[in-house]
Amino acid sequence: MENRTVVPRQIRYLLAVAEHKNFTRAADALGVSQPGLSQQIKQLEDYLGTTLFDRTGRSIRLTDAGETYVAHARKALFELEAGWRALQEVEDLSRGVLRVACTPSFTESLMPKWVHSFHEHYPNVHVYLSEMSLDAIEAALCADESDIGVGFTDVRTEGIQVTPLFEERATLVVSSTHPLRCEGVAITSAQLASLPLVMLVEGFAARTYADAYFRAHKIAPNIAVEANSISAVLRIVQLGGMATVLPQVSGDVPTGLSHLDLPEPITSRTVAILERQRVHRTAAAKAFANIVMSSTRQLGLASSFIDDDLRRPDGTVVRTPRE
């Protein structure tokens, strides 16, 4: 026992068996042989001097000792993988990984520009871009599944650092040939209520924002279609006849679409960079944040937040603490 120790491979094997509750399925998921996996688990149990799995039933399950050890093993693997990523990056960003998460409206507007610019500056850094809801971004950051996110300041999770960027407001999006676009007159609440709408499904920040607007102004929307993809929403609107309520996050207007003012005033939201507090901030995440903030200035979107808040020595900005 003195000459052996637990290695990361054994921890991964242990967690896979605990998840799948079956050695064969766990082996398939790991891409290893089932006998080899069983042998590694047996060696781990021998080393620890206890049984981690109850193998007497049709499916295996963790023993009490196994439950206790798995909780610590999961934390240990989390730290080991964080250390591995830290070693992979270098200050000149000649290699590395960047995991970016954003809400759907940004994948159709600013995010492609930001990712393209980042790649031009750091071509050897591999970027993983994920589109998800604001709640999912917060969860991904806390679970160390994303390095940086772009969403909004109204986060609901403790431990998320918020760096405000600019204000955005919602508009009515119609096709360029829609009668309301051609009339060129202000839209009334009655007209908005009668329009067949294509909306994102509940759970997306843009949908929550739109629903709050409808409630505030006592408008009963005629929602005809719901989709979980902003691309699908915009494509349907482009075909004419239907409309949607989405934020206008940049001056760009997709081909065949027009933004119209909503009939009642709408409270703007603050777009923000989201990161996890008190964790190692990768060089790639720092560089991406700088590109995002530089881009918002160049597009004339940047609000006074960027100038008023604290600035790190590397040029990035931290939102001043909330009271």
What is the model's pLDDT at position 249? 65
What is the model's pLDDT at position 285? 95
Let me know whether 244 and 174 are in one domain: yes
pLDDT interval class at 145 (50, 70, 90):
very high
| Least confident window among 39-48, 146-155, 245-254 | 245-254
pLDDT higher than 80, residue 304: no
What is the model's pLDDT at position 197? 98
pLDDT higher than 60, residue 254: yes
> Is 323 domain-assigned?
no
Let me know whether 248 and 171 are in one domain: yes
User: Domain of 63?
Assistant: 8-88
What is the model's pLDDT at position 248? 77
What is the model's pLDDT at position 264? 79
Name the pairing type of β-strands 96-102 and 148-152.
parallel
Domain boundary residue, one of 32, 67, 88: 88
What is the model's pLDDT at position 74? 92
Q: pTM for this one?
A: 0.62
Let me know whether 66 and 195 are in one domain: no
Domain boundary residue, one of 88, 120, 147: 88
Let me know whether 63 and 136 are in one domain: no
Let me know whether 181 and 247 are in one domain: yes
Number of domains in the chain: 3
Let me know whether 162 and 178 are in one domain: no
Domain boundary residue, one of 88, 106, 133: 88
Joined together, the tokens standing for residue 169 give: 């407001």
Q: Which of 170, 157, 259 has its CA nearest to residue 206? A: 170
Angle at 239 between CA 226 and CA 113, to 5 degrees: 80
> Is 3 domain-assigned?
no
Q: Who wins on pLDDT, 196 or 109?
A: 196
pLDDT higher than 60, residue 103: yes
C-alpha pair distances (Å), 23 with each of 36, 61, 77, 110 = 10, 11, 20, 45
The DSSP element (H or E) to which 101 belongs, if any, is strand 96-102
> Is 78 domain-assigned?
yes
> Is 100 domain-assigned?
yes
Let me know whether 82 and 150 are in one domain: no
- Tell me, what CATH number does 122's domain have? 3.40.190.10
Q: Who wins on pLDDT, 121 or 108?
A: 121
Which of 96-100, 222-226, 251-255 has the highest average model confidence (pLDDT)? 222-226
Among residues of the chain, what percentage have pLDDT more than 70? 89
> Is 54 domain-assigned?
yes
- Tell me, what CATH number does 222's domain have? 3.40.190.290
Let me know whether 187 and 307 are in one domain: no
pLDDT interval class at 301 (50, 70, 90):
confident
b/e 160-179 (16+ beta carbons within 10 angstroms → b): bbbbbbbebbbbbbbbeebe
* Cβ-contact 242, 194 below 8 angstroms: no
| Least confident window among 87-101, 210-224, 296-310 | 296-310
